[in-house]
A and B are shown apart, each in its own frame.
Chain A
Amino acid sequence: MHPALRFVLWPSLWASMLFGVSAAQAEPQRRWDDGGDLDKIVWNRPFARAQELARESGRVLLIKPILGGGNVPKPGGVPCGGKNDCEGSW
């Protein structure tokens, strides 16, 4: 993690990174610092938690299935799936 992020991440983003949830789905907050623009889509996980957020907020779930994890990586390549797709950079 970029060292500067420790001091400026909003609580909701910390919650998202630590627990895979979004604490402030309804009202997005602006996030940026000397690590650049951190305003990205929050991909809520696990699915059950995302469903809960959708029910609470009355919003529609936008679901992105990832198919890459099942693909055989090229020699020396890093496979998709798991950590490579879920590191918070979505």
Chain B
Amino acid sequence: MVAEVLRSGAYSDEVVANLVQRRFVATMYDVAPPAKNYGDGSAYDPDAIAAVGPMDELRRGRRGGGSEDRNGRVSADGYPTALFLAPDGERLGDGLWGIMPPERLLRGLRDVIAKWPKYFEPTTEERAVVARADAQPDDADAQLDAARLSWELAEFEAVVSRADRGLGKAAPPIRAELQYLNARALTCLGRDDEARTSLLAIGETTIGEAGAALTLAVQVALARLELRAGKPEAAVARLRPFCTFTAPMRHSGAVLYTTGLALWRQGAHDEAKVLWRQHRRELPFDRLARRSAASLGLDEAEAFRNQELFETKGWW
């Protein structure tokens, strides 16, 4: 159902997941008590209901129900995406409602952060990373640490700025990761041409397991830019060779999902499903495995389809 759409969609996005992990304490609960629950009801939590309030009251004034149009797009304005409580239990705003792509969820999280900044102060460790990078602008390693942190905080302009500073004297492995983070941030900023240039500049300069993982990440990032440019055939050609592997790596799941998405956009639906099934079967705990499942239409569950199949805006 709609929860599946969110779980496999915006909440499985790397940018969203990073920011939630850095700045929020995430929790979920099932509103239906066991007696009225068609699942096992194990996530039913009276403490959560007492703290949040009755769902009927929260939803008042919002259209209920979820519906899927003939093109597969889901509307569900009465479904809660995120509610926010301060550490003392005070409700912060009305929360976020409806099915949304990662970019819109990120905007909603940023709004909460901007409105109640006292709950989102950097940690001591984060301050130290930033202080070191500021004090040593020519130290590529310090800039890389700060760029990684900025990436996890979805501070895209800051990532670009750190990369600019660090690239000057960076050794090859540091240089490659800085260029990669720079490209990812540029993509999120909508500067796709610059992102592509940054990715292509990485080349084959990395070695070892980390280097191999980065090489795969670069290919996925380039393929996603090709998808954004409306060139799914280029994305398929780029990623297809990486869909067969003996030992999967960190981004192997992203390769399988993204290649499937590119095939789907080409109209090769059956071929896409083969890869999504492979993803589910071989990497069931991968971050994007749910998205592949939702793309299949989930024979094994009740769910709407993965919205990225139908909607390109707001996905990066």
Contact = CB atoms under 8 A, between A and B. Distances in A.
A64 B43 CA distance: 11
A58 to B, nearest CB: 6
B21 A53 contact: no
A41 B26 contact: yes
Interface string A52-67: 0111011111111111
Interface of B, helix, strand, loop or mixed by DSSP: mixed
Contacts, number: 265
A26, A67, A89: residue with the most chain B Cβ atoms closer than 10 Å: A67
A67 B31 contact: yes
Interface stretch (B85-93, B133-141, B169-177, B221-229): B85-93
Contact of B25 (A35, A40, A44, A85): A44
A10 interface: no
Interface in B20-61: 20-32, 36-45, 47-48, 51-52, 55
Contacts of A28: 18, 21-22, 152
Contacts of B89: 51
Contact of B38 (A33, A65, A71, A86): A71
A55 B108 CA distance: 22
A25 to B, nearest CB: 6
A8 to B, nearest CB: 11
A35 B43 contact: no
B45 A47 contact: yes
A80 B250 contact: no
Contact of B4 (A60, A72, A80): A80
A81 to B, nearest CB: 3
Contacts of A48: 47
B2 A67 contact: yes
Interface residues of B, number: 82
28 contacts: A27-B123, A28-B22, A34-B249, A36-B287, A37-B288, A39-B287, A42-B26, A46-B45, A47-B45, A53-B25, A57-B87, A59-B25, A59-B120, A60-B23, A61-B87, A62-B83, A62-B84, A63-B82, A64-B82, A65-B48, A69-B30, A69-B39, A69-B43, A70-B31, A80-B3, A80-B38, A82-B37, A83-B39
Given A64-B29, A85-B3, 15 more contacts: A34-B247, A41-B17, A45-B27, A46-B29, A47-B29, A57-B87, A60-B86, A61-B85, A62-B20, A64-B6, A65-B48, A66-B28, A66-B43, A69-B37, A90-B28
Interface of A: 1-2, 5, 22, 25-28, 32-48, 50-51, 53-55, 57-74, 77-86, 88-90
